[in-house]
């Protein structure tokens, strides 16, 4: 009785939870689901007397337990309901011969022809769901048998989206997979991180595509079948030296056996525009602000510029139609125009929107012995520059064939080729502080300067950089990439349970480019006074080429054995070897005979040449043993003996072990009363030690002393430039691996017939023996301190994933998923005897921000004079300057010795580590419609911004933006920013007042699609047609300064883009 009462109570709770979540999702999506009368109330008492045209019955599982909330629908209609607490249902208006469809998450859908009587339905568990496999190192495992921290998503999350690269589609999808988009420039790739800070020398996850290391930014997202993320040491240990900071396994699509050829075509076009627009100040605001700054700096002049500029600027501002943005006054400058315009440079540099497109075609299928998949992809991304000179095109070809030669031998081959080409303005970029990927918006673009003079020539006149002129006239850079991958593999199954696999991969990667610098004249007011723009005045051409040759060989065997139907063993052993040879060269020459024809052999000026070449290799043997008893007690042991050419001969090899255990408590007998509600519960623990071979900027052979060579010194000796050779620096004799030890504790759970799932992990990662500056040595040494394995770091964090899948009848199915992760890192060993705040020290949290504390702005010169802040800035502090707090009580503001023991008036005011990263996904399918939205954000992140785009002025050549106008004046004493000025850099110190909250929430993706009715499609000779609309980065919520994007935190960089797309998928 007590057990039955508990069961009934939990069933009631389950229904209530389902209704609440279902209603919440419906409200969230704001989509009307049910027509009046389409969903019939379910009776709570089973009626044995059959009413005319009413179909009644009960739905149970194989154990005889009633299934609550199962969908019951007359196939091909909207007439449907769901089962009640006792599993019963009633459907009105059913005719004999109608097909009744029964479905529920985790069970196989059943169809029954109604003959007029009551129905007793038994739903069987979906074996496919129970047997769900996850891709792991060198194989797959059942999800229920995993004992490590592994997350997997289907490639469907990347399909039908206007993605420039794979990373853009994974943001907010997998907890603690941290992705940085860097910028929105065409061709800009994403960077990946797993579980936070890695090493002081950097370190990123190993990314493998079909078991070989590859750049994911060159992949076609439409070719991806699944993405697995191996997070803990136990899961990643099989990859040894390269898997210390996690592994991302990408599996591409394959054909299926005994499937007729299927052709799929997808096409989408999208419009993109900047997510954040930087609004510049107008000419009147600029003139007023620079005058105030000039006076605050101590000038007695009324104006910073000549009074005539103010006069003409006011006329043009009030009436731009009848006035010009320039004027000529020979008394001010005998040759140059004076500028008096009102230019919004952001709008002159970037378009409001640009159009791009993507197309994909694939064919797949198979016979009883052979499967095949072939695809072609084309992506054409147009940039936002108004000059129409930035673009990126990617062509992808993929062929994947597998065939059974005999019953025990399989051969497979994969060929993947990616070709990209991109173009960007290329003239004078570095000198003018512009960048191919970092953007063309500058911090010194005066609104007074027009884009062009009234005569049609570009402005600048040798005093200011005109980025529009550079884009149009300064030259072009064109880059080409070819990335070819060829893999052949044999798989043998000589005896039952034994599989032997061997594969060989060759990769050739080639990147070449040509940068053309084209000189152009900057015209002035007086004919004949024109001069070449200074940063492109010498024409030149630079050609460069980089190429990599990579080879990988794997051989491994796996054996599976089951004893007495309860003891399950799986053993894996193998060998891995990889080699990569990289080289590059560049050649340049100045003085083009024809400045419009950039060719090395058509130039007469100074020559330049450079080259580089390096290589590395790794090899290792690995083993993995899995054991489970009744899929209840799980054990996994891993070991890899790894060697890397990046270390000295005697320190080249090391052994890295790991292990994990798991207990499926839900398989115990005492869990049986909970099974109906709490279906599955598994707790996990793992620990492992991995090596890190990443040496950052130190190169592949840091352990070898190397001379510095200059083959063309800038001196003349005996009529020629000599060759100079410099001595090498010191090299540590104990240079060896960084070691990464990681422990992980977690659980996996499912509830309510697997409709609700939960996964949680807590981890600690200790990075030992990081390569960094060694102990301080006497200055008489005469050279720098060598790097050695002298630092340790600890990272702790957690990640949570929740998912709900449900159905509310009438064909409406929905899902919700939420993820949350967090991490912090702390230095646990570092040589810093003085505790200097300018370096790492034991106990330092990575990302911590030391700064002064401010309690406001001085409101009078007298108040400022009373405060002693001369140690911060030695000039005269005035009204409107920043007032700092005397934390140490010594009567003055200072940094003292800037050490832990004597920090002066500084303290930790924040931390730039992105905390509480989260994502939320929700979607539904209904009558051919499908909807999905993905939100992504960061819950806490502190940042100290800078530059004219934040402060307003840092020097007299800088130009503020609109968000800097809230500055102190006597009429605006509650202002946020100090009085404008450039001399008192003490106002721009890192301090609590100007620390920014960079947390945000962004709608990364929203998709609405419709699949045409099958009857329509079949008549056209097609299998499936789906049309859709999609949006990326549509909404952002943040308290950050409006002109900054929280993903880039730099409003001078190429902007992240918002995209609106429409597309179609057709399957033949």
pLDDT of 41 over the 70 cut: no
**pLDDT the model gives residue 905:** 97
> Residue 19: its pLDDT value, please?
37
Angle, helices 283-296 vs 307-318, to 10°: value is 150
Distances (CA, A) of 202 to 174, 698, 826: 22, 11, 15
pLDDT digits (tens, 9 = 90+) for 489-515: 999 999 999 999 999 999 999 999 999
What's the confidence (pLDDT) of residue 135?
Answer: 81
72-109 pLDDT, tens digit each? 888 877 788 888 878 899 888 899 889 998 887 667 88
**pLDDT for 994:** 97
Q: Residue holding tokens 């800097």?
A: 964
Residue 234's alpha-carbon distances to 131, 136, 487, 495, 682, in angstroms, are 22, 11, 27, 29, 17
Query: What is the DSSP code string of 99-134?
Result: EEEEE-TTB--EEEE--SS-EEEEEPB-HHHHT-EE
d(CA 852, CA 895): 9
Lowest mean pLDDT, pick from 615-624, 644-653, 1004-1013, 1024-1033: 644-653
Task: Assess whether pLDDT exceeds 70 at residue 16.
Answer: no
Is residue 8's pLDDT more than 50?
no
Mean pLDDT confidence for 1031-1060: 93
H/E element, 407: none
> Under a CB-based contact definition with an 8 Å cutoff, are residues 1050 and 182 in contact?
no
The two counts, helices (H) then strands (E), for the chain are 11, 51
What's the pLDDT at 596? 92
Which two tokens mark 892? Answer: 């003055």
Interatomic CA distance for residues 649 and 617, integer angstroms:
13
User: Residue 907 pairs with which residues in a beta bridge?
Assistant: 851
pLDDT mean across residues, the chain:
88
Strand 55-61 and strand 119-123: the pairing is parallel
Q: Which residues pair with 628 in a beta bridge?
A: 568, 634
By C-alpha distance, which of 1025, 1006, 1026, 1029 is closest to 1017? 1025
Average pLDDT over residues 252-259: 89
What is the length of the chain? 1068
Place of tokens 């995209």: 1059
Instruction: Write out pLDDT tens, residues 709-744.
Output: 777 777 888 778 888 887 777 776 667 778 899 999
Coil/strand/helix, residue 245: coil
Backbone torsions φ then ψ of 547, nearest 5 degrees: -145, 145
Closest CA to 726 of 712, 697, 706: 706
pLDDT of residue 127: 54
Average pLDDT over residues 357-377: 94
Distances 131 to 145, 522, 728, 760 between C-alpha atoms, Å: 10, 71, 59, 21
**What pLDDT shows up at residue 780?**
67
Mean pLDDT to the nearest integer, 303-324: 96
Please list the residues that pair with 618 across neighbouring strands. Answer: 578, 644
pLDDT digits (tens, 9 = 90+) for 420-443: 999 988 766 556 666 666 677 888
Using the predicted structure, report yes or no on whether residue 217 has a pLDDT greater than 60: yes
> Which region, left, alpha or beta, applies to residue 952 given φ > 0 means left and ψ of -120 to 50 means alpha?
left
Choice among 368-382, 426-440, 556-570, 656-670 with the minimum mean pLDDT: 426-440
* CB burial of residue 564 (10 Å; 0-12, 13-18, 19+): exposed
Bigger pLDDT: 924 or 652?
Answer: 924
pLDDT in tens, 674-684: 988 999 999 99
User: Which tokens is 869 given?
Assistant: 């802040």
Kindly give, in sequence order, each residue whose CB lies less than 8 Å from that of residue 319, ignoring residues fewer than 6 positions away. none
Q: What confidence score (pLDDT) does residue 977 get? A: 97
Among the listed residues 278, 477, 480, the one whose alpha carbon sits nearest the alpha carbon of residue 394:
480
Given the structure tokens 């430039």, which residue do they identify? 721
pLDDT of residue 139: 84
535: helix, coil or strand? helix
On whether the CB atoms of residues 533 and 551 are closer than 8 A, the answer is no
| Per-residue model confidence (pLDDT) at position 779 | 65
7 has a pLDDT exceeding 60: no
The answer to whether residues 83 and 42 touch, using CB atoms and an 8 Å cutoff, is yes
pLDDT band at 71 (very low <50, low <70, confident <90, very high): confident
Q: Rounded to whole angstroms, how far apart are CA atoms 622 and 637? A: 11
Q: What are 845-872's pLDDT values in tens digits?
A: 999 999 999 999 999 999 999 999 999 9
Backbone φ/ψ region at 946: left (φ over 0), alpha (ψ -120 to 50), beta: beta
Query: What pLDDT was estimated at residue 708?
Result: 75
pLDDT digits (tens, 9 = 90+) for 193-209: 999 998 888 788 999 99
Between CA 632 and CA 759 the distance in angstroms is 18
**pLDDT of 50 higher than 60:** no
742 close to 765: Cβ distance less than 8 angstroms: yes
Q: How many CB atoms lie within 10 A of CB 930?
A: 17
Q: pLDDT tier at 662 (50, 70, 90 boundaries)? A: very high
- What DSSP state is assigned to residue 700? T
Predicted local confidence at residue 781, as pLDDT: 66
Q: Token pair of 439, please?
A: 């953007």
CB distance 39 to 71 below 8 Å: no
Query: What is the pTM (predicted TM-score) of this model?
Result: 0.85
Percentage of residues of the chain with pLDDT beyond 70: 91
pLDDT digits (tens, 9 = 90+) for 581-629: 999 999 999 999 999 999 999 999 999 999 999 999 999 999 999 999 9
Domains and CATH numbers, the chain: 34-125 (2.60.40.1120), 130-263 (2.170.130.10)
Closest CA to 431 of 423, 442, 445, 416: 442
Per-residue pLDDT at 964: 95
Q: Give the separation between CA 915 and CA 331, rounded to whole angstroms.
A: 59
- What distance in Å separates the CA atoms of residue 470 and residue 536, rounded to the nearest whole number? 9
């Amino acid at each position: 009785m007590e057990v039955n009462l508990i069961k009934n109570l939990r069933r009631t709770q389950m229904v209530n939870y389902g209704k609440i979540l279902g209603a919440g999702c419906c409200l969230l999506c704001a989509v009307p689901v049910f027509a009046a009368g389409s969903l019939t109330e379910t009776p709570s008492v089973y009626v044995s007397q059959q009413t005319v045209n009413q179909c009644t019955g009960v739905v149970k599982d194989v154990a005889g337990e009633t299934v609550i909330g199962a969908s019951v629908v007359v196939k091909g209609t909207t007439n449907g309901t769901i089962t009640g607490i006792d599993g019963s249902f009633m459907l009105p208006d059913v005719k004999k011969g109608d097909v009744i469809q029964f479905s529920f998450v985790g069970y196989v859908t059943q169809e029954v022809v109604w003959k007029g009587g009551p129905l007793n339905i038994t739903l069987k568990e979906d074996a496919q769901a129970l047997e769900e496999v996850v891709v792991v190192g060198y194989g797959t495992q059942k999800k229920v048998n995993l004992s490590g921290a592994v997350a997997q998503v289907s490639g469907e999350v990347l399909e039908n989206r206007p993605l420039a690269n794979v990373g853009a589609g994974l943001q907010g999808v997998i907890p603690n997979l941290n992705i940085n988009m860097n910028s929105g420039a065409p061709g800009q790739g994403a960077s990946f991180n797993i579980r936070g800070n890695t090493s002081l020398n950097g370190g990123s996850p190993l990314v493998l595509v079909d078991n070989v290391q590859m750049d994911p930014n060159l992949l076609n997202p439409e070719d991806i079948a699944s993405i697995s993320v191996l997070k803990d040491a136990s899961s990643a240990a099989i990859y040894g030296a390269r898997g210390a900071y996690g592994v991302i396994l990408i599996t591409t699509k394959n054909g299926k056996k005994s499937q007729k050829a299927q052709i799929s075509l997808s096409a989408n076009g999208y419009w993109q525009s900047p997510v954040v627009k930087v609004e510049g100040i107008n000419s009147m605001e600029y003139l007023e602000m620079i005058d105030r700054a000039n006076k605050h700096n101590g000038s007695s002049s009324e104006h910073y510029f000549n009074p005539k500029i103010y006069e003409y600027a006011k006329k043009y501002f009030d009436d731009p139609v009848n006035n010009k943005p320039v004027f000529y006054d020979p008394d001010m400058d005998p040759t140059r125009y004076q500028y008096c315009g009102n230019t919004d440079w952001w709008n002159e540099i970037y378009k409001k929107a640009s159009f791009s497109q993507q197309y994909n075609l694939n064919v797949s299928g198979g016979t009883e012995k052979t499967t095949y998949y072939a695809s072609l992809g084309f992506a054409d991304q147009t940039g936002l520059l108004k000059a129409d000179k930035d673009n990126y095109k990617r062509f992808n070809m993929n062929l994947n064939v597998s065939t059974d030669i005999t019953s025990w031998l399989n051969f497979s081959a994969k060929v993947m080729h990616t070709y990209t080409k991109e173009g960007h303005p290329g003239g004078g970029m570095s000198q003018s502080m512009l960048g191919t990927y970092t953007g063309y918006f500058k911090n010194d673009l005066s609104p007074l300067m027009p884009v062009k003079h009234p005569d049609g020539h570009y402005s600048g006149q040798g005093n200011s950089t005109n980025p529009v002129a550079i884009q149009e006239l300064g030259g072009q850079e064109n880059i080409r990439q070819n990335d070819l991958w060829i893999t052949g593999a044999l798989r043998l199954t000589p005896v039952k349970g034994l599989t032997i696999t061997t594969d060989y991969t060759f990769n050739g990667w080639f990147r070449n480019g040509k940068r053309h610098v084209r000189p152009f004249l900057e015209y002035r007011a007086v004919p004949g006074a024109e001069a070449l723009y200074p940063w492109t005045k010498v024409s030149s051409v630079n050609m460069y080429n980089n190429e990599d040759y990579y080879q990988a060989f794997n051989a491994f065997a796996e054996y599976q054995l089951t004893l007495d139907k309860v003891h399950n063993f799986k053993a894996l052993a193998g060998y891995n070897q990889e080699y990569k040879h990289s080289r590059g060269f560049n050649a340049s020459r100045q003085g083009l005979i024809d400045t419009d024809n950039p060719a090395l052999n058509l130039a007469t000026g100074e020559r330049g040449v450079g080259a580089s070449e390096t290589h590395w290799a790794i090899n290792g043997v690995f083993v993995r043993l899995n054991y489970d008893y009744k899929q209840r007690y799980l054990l996994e042991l891993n070991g890899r003996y790894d060697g890397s050419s990046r270390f000295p001969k005697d320190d080249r090899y090391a052994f890295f072990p790991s292990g994990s255990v798991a207990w499926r408590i839900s398989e115990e007998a005492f869990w049986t009363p909970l099974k109906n509600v709490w279906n599955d519960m598994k707790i996990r623990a793992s620990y492992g030690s991995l090596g890190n071979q990443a040496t950052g900027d130190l190169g592949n052979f840091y352990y070898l002393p190397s001379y510095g060579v200059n083959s063309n010194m800038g001196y003349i000796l005996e009529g020629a430039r000599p060759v100079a050779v410099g001595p090498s620096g010191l090299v540590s004799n104990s240079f060896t691996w960084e070691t990464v030890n990681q422990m992980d504790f977690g659980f996996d759970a499912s509830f309510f017939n697997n409709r609700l799932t939960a996964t949680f992990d807590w981890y600690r990662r200790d990075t030992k023996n990081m390569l960094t500056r060694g102990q301080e040595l006497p200055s008489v040494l005469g050279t720098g301190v060598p790097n050695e394995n002298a630092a340790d770091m600890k990272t702790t964090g957690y990640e949570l994933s929740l998912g709900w899948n449900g159905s509310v009848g009438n064909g409406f199915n929905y899902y919700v998923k939420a993820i949350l992760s967090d991490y912090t890192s702390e230095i646990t060993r570092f040589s810093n005897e003085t505790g200097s705040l300018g370096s790492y020290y034991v106990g330092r949290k990575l990302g911590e921000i030391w700064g002064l504390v401010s309690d406001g702005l001085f409101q009078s010169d007298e108040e400022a004079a009373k405060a002693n802040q001369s140690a911060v800035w030695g000039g005269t502090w005035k009204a409107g300057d920043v007032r700092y707090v005397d934390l140490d009580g010594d009567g003055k503001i200072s940094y003292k010795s800037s050490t832990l023991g004597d920090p002066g008036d500084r303290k930790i005011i924040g931390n730039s580590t992105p905390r509480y990263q989260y994502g939320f996904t929700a979607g539904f399918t209904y009558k051919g419609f499908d909807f999905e939205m993905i939100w992504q954000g960061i819950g806490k992140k502190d940042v100290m911004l800078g530059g004219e785009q934040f402060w307003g002025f840092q020097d007299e050549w800088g130009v503020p933006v609109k968000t800097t106008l809230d500055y102190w004046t006597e009429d605006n004493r509650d202002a946020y920013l100090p009085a404008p000025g450039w001399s008192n850099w003490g106002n721009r110190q890192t301090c609590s007042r100007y620390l920014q909250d960079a947390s945000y929430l962004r709608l990364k993706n929203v998709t609405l699609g419709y699949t045409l009715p099958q009857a329509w499609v079949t008549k056209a000779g097609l299998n499936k047609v789906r049309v859709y609309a999609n949006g990326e980065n549509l909404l952002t919520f943040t308290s950050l300064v409006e002109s900054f994007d929280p993903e880039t935190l730099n409003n001078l960089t190429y902007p992240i883009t918002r995209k609106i797309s429409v597309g179609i998928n057709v399957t033949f």
